[in-house]
Amino acid sequence: MYPELKLFIAGKWRTANRDIPVVNPATEGEIGRLPCASKQDLDDALEAAVRGFRVWSRTSPRERSDTILRAAALMRERQEQIAHAITMEHGKPLNQARLEVIRGAEFFEWDAGEAMRTYGRVIPAAPGHKFSVHHQPIGVVAAFSPWNFPMSQPARKIAGALASGCSIILKAAEETPAGAMHIAKAFEDAGLPAGVLNLVFGEPAEISGHLIPQDPVRLVAFTGSTAVGRHLTTLASEHMTSVLMELGGHAPVIVCEDTDVKAAGISSAVRKMRNAGQVCTSPTRFFAHENIFDDYATTFVERAAATIVGNGMDQNVEMGPLANDRRAPALTELVKDAREKGATVATGGAKHGDKGYFFQPTVLLNVPDNARIMQEEPFGPVAVINPVSSLDDAIGKANSVPYGLAGYAFTNRADYIDRLIDEVEVGNLSINTLEASMPETPFGGVKSSGYGREGGTEGLDNYMIVKNVWHSADIT
Ligand code: NAD
């Protein structure tokens, strides 16, 4: 079920001189060898992308759209195969991997439609003059996708680039390469011209350091941590290269007094543990009104503690392992720090089992503001529940971190909803649901959570330049 891993450059699959193991995080067993691109491979990919851009940017939007839709249809057909590979390399439950494949296909389908709607405009001008505004593909894109969603993260970047008429070199995550490989295979089979999509793997800093300074690269698209995003933005700015940055989050959830406490508690616990909390929009800081705090926390803790943890291939499993061995020590440290500063560990708090990178579903109560977890994104199955005295108090706490990606609230009060919309500093606010985005909605952050939007009618903006044309009938 796990594919043989290769680089995809100039329309051809190739191996590399150096490779590193890909490991199943549920078993710690090796499942494949990842080829690491050499500088020559990267230069070949760049040259191919320049040629690919010439072809693809001059291909009609309808033809581009048709090709993307053909590839998306192949991804849907191959759902089982792709989902199994994702669960093997990432660890998430198979059903969640299946949904991810469909979500990835939906990103392509949405952007394929948008490819035909990159409208310009005509600006009124004096007789004999015409002003017109054109949206044109920006050029070669260097993109970097993370390991938390092996299929849908690469899909976002590839869809935006290809729908806009750009070519792309994607470095997918070294831990989870198969999702991106399946996408490249689908595009090869759908007849995408050679060089339009190039897929490489390897040492992240080496690849970004080599590609970003190159002249043909006109956009750096990255999803990952704020620290790495800041580094890549600095590198890009030295070359006046545009960036699209989808970075970390530390999502607040405001639980108001008027809500259905039981339903909110169960929804919160289930959504927190999705993808083992390794989601940039994962709800983490839960601020419950003091009058309902006890009931809400009790429901949440009971449901979180009941989460079935195990190998994602087993049918009933709700939460798999962490995707790599870096997160468990980081989470253990965050929990230890919170406990030492006075928090209660209501459930979990440690590694789960002795094989695989599993971590227990963890809930911390009454965490002091000076605990590290109140500022640092855990990126794992750890939730904080604290009481608040009012909506003012809750909004103040929600906005007290440098992040501003997703935010949530449970309430039906119209006056509260108005204030939440106006005052919570996030790019995506959801009320009475802990879902943050769909292909048709714009997704992205404010503050240290990044620049630009993916999806929605805004999704192609970063991949295009705006050109104004002034046409005068007479020489003036
Ligand atoms: P990390 O910061 O080392 O890496 C994050 C991602 O960036 C990885 O995919 C990695 O391959 C890539 N990366 C790292 N250095 C790079 C470089 N110099 N050039 C190009 N790409 C580079 O952290 P990690 O241990 O992999 O993940 C943990 C943190 O990353 C989390 O705390 C979370 O904030 C963030 N993260 C965010 C998302 C997201 O969806 N926004 C996804 C994955 C990880």
What would the pLDDT profile of 364-397 be if each residue is shown by its tens digit?
999 999 999 999 999 999 999 999 999 999 999 9
Same domain, 256 and 243: no
To test the ligand 1 pocket, which listed residue (89, 145, 228) has its Cβ within 8 A of the most ligand atoms?
228
**Tokens 């190159």 belong to which residue?**
214
Residue 454 DSSP symbol: B
Residue of minimum CA distance from atom 5 in ligand 1: 224
pLDDT at 321 over 90: yes
Six-digit token string for 215: 């002249």
Evaluate whether residue 460 is within a structural domain: yes
The count of domains in the chain is 2
DSSP 377-404: ---SSEEEEEEESSHHHHHHHHTSSSEE
- Predicted confidence at residue 157, as pLDDT, reads 98
**Tokens 């006890």 belong to which residue?**
294
Same domain, 230 and 374: no
Give the CATH number for residue 110: 3.40.605.10
Evaluate whether residue 475 is within a structural domain: no
H or E segment at 455? none
What tens digit of pLDDT does each residue of 419-469 get?
A: 999 999 999 999 999 999 999 999 999 999 999 999 999 999 999 999 999
Same domain, 223 and 273: no
Same domain, 216 and 68: yes
- Predicted confidence at residue 140, as pLDDT, reads 98
- Predicted confidence at residue 359, as pLDDT, reads 98
Evaluate whether residue 444 is within a structural domain: no
Evaluate whether residue 235 is within a structural domain: yes
- Predicted confidence at residue 123, as pLDDT, reads 98
Q: Is the CB of 284 under 6 A from ligand 1?
A: no
What tens digit of pLDDT does each residue of 323-380 get?
A: 999 999 999 999 999 999 999 999 999 999 999 999 999 999 999 999 999 999 999 9
Same domain, 114 and 263: no
Average pLDDT of the chain is: 98
Cα-to-chain-centroid distance, residue 308: 25
What tens digit of pLDDT does each residue of 114-162 get?
A: 999 999 999 999 999 999 999 999 999 999 999 999 999 999 999 999 9
Give the CATH number for residue 297: 3.40.309.10
What tens digit of pLDDT does each residue of 96-127 get?
A: 999 999 999 999 999 999 999 999 999 999 99
- Predicted confidence at residue 463, as pLDDT, reads 98
Same domain, 186 and 284: no
What tens digit of pLDDT does each residue of 266-297 get?
A: 999 999 999 999 999 999 999 999 999 999 99
pLDDT at 1 over 90: no
Global pTM value? 0.97
Q: What percent of the chain has pLDDT over 70?
A: 100
To test the ligand 1 pocket, which listed residue (156, 200, 225) has its Cβ within 8 A of the most ligand atoms?
225
Residue range of the domain that includes 150: 7-247+449-468
Question: What is the rounded average pLDDT of the residues 206-217?
Answer: 98
Q: How many angstroms separate the alpha carbon of residue 225 from the centre of ligand 1? A: 5
Same domain, 459 and 416: no
Evaluate whether residue 278 is within a structural domain: yes
Q: Is the CB of 146 under 6 A from ligand 1?
A: yes
Residue of minimum CA distance from atom 13 in ligand 1: 204
Evaluate whether residue 264 is within a structural domain: yes
Which residues, listed in sequence order, are joined to residue 198 by a DSSP beta bridge? 169
Contacts by 74-81, CB closer than 8 A, 24 or more apart = 74/186, 74/189, 74/190, 75/101, 75/104, 75/105, 75/108, 75/151, 75/182, 75/183, 75/186, 76/101, 76/102, 76/105, 78/182, 78/186, 81/1, 81/182
Q: Is the CB of 357 under 6 A from ligand 1?
A: no
